[in-house]
Amino acid sequence: MLRPQLLYHVARNSRGSLPVYSDVRNAGSRYLVYIRNVDGNVADLVNDLTTTLFPESSAKISTVRNRHVVIQGGRCKDSVMEWLASKGF
């Protein structure tokens, strides 16, 4: 099955896993999810995440260093990994 042409690519790491990581800060009151090593148009990835995975959520999605995406506001690592896998990454 061919995947649709996207303006971004999330490469897997050397062990074959998706580069999605979680970080708990402030004694568990701040939960962050990182998507690392995004190639291409990161703003398009943020837009796709906002419209499909978090349409009416209070999650804040931002870009760090032009290649990383940070999601604040929920324990969503598993859903992000499933979403990326469904996109063909």
pLDDT in tens, 30-81: 899 999 999 999 999 999 999 999 888 778 888 888 899 999 988 889 999 9
55: tokens are 């349409």
In angstroms, rounded to a whole number, what is the distance separating the alpha carbons of residues 58 and 10? 24
Please enumerate, as own/partner, the contacts of 39-46 that have beta carbons within 8 Å and a separation of 24 or more: 39/8, 39/9, 39/10, 39/11, 39/67, 40/6, 40/7, 40/8, 40/9, 41/7, 41/8, 42/8, 42/66, 42/67, 42/69, 44/6, 44/7, 44/8, 45/8, 45/10, 45/69
Q: What's the confidence (pLDDT) of residue 85?
A: 94
Q: What's the confidence (pLDDT) of residue 3?
A: 61
